[in-house]
Amino acid sequence: MRTLGVLLFPEFELLDVFGPLEVFGHRSVAHHFRVTTIAREAGPVVSAQGPRALADHGFADCPALDVLLVPGGMGTRREVDDPRLVRWIATIADATRTVASVCTGAALLARANVLDDRRATTNKRAFDWVVTQGPRVEWVRKARWVEDGKFFTSSGVSAGIDMSLAMVAHMVDPVTANTLANTIEYTRHADADDDPFA
């Protein structure tokens, strides 16, 4: 059983969070992952689209994590300048076996310097901005997702679902990942380099 923690912050992108959570929280893999949500403080956090999600934990009582997932969204433009958030990401990423980001969540990982000297990708529409957050990162423009060591980074929004299925294939097994994609009726991009939006 791996504890997967999802970071929430004001104006996070809904699908960046709930696309992957459909994968990791599905009953077919529920015995492999325990999902929790974390924000500065426990309680409701407003998304970029308006609906709120509930953070189970604040930074102060965050449990030990095996997997950290950092979403993107318009809020990342503000959050990259929050030293408390950036320090928290750096600390948790250092202690966590697997770290993932969706979309512009890679900007937060980059500002925390955890992607330095690693390959990573991000949302293509925001690519040039994200690159400025991590000049020592080897940014890959044409990729649906990138895996480098314990780090997984995906392109924009729905690419987080493809990345999450790749993570399930890596952490559980490929057959489970394929079966899960079919169960949720998702047409999967199983090739990390197959990025139709690049």
β-partners of residue 69 are 6, 100
Contact at 8 Å (CB) between 75 and 14? Answer: no
Is 103 annotated in the active site?
yes
Please tell me the distance from the alpha carbon of residue 162 to that of residue 29, in angstroms, as a whole number. Answer: 16
Closest CA to 106 of 134, 78, 144, 68: 134
Within a 10 A sphere around the Cβ of 191, how many other Cβ atoms?
12
- Which candidate in 38, 103, 120, 163 is catalytic? 103
Alpha-carbon torsion, ordered 26, 13, 107, 142, to 10 deg: 70
Q: Classify 117 in phi/psi space as left (phi over 0), alpha (psi -120 to 50) or beta.
A: left
Would you please indicate which residues are annotated as catalytic (active-site) residues? 103
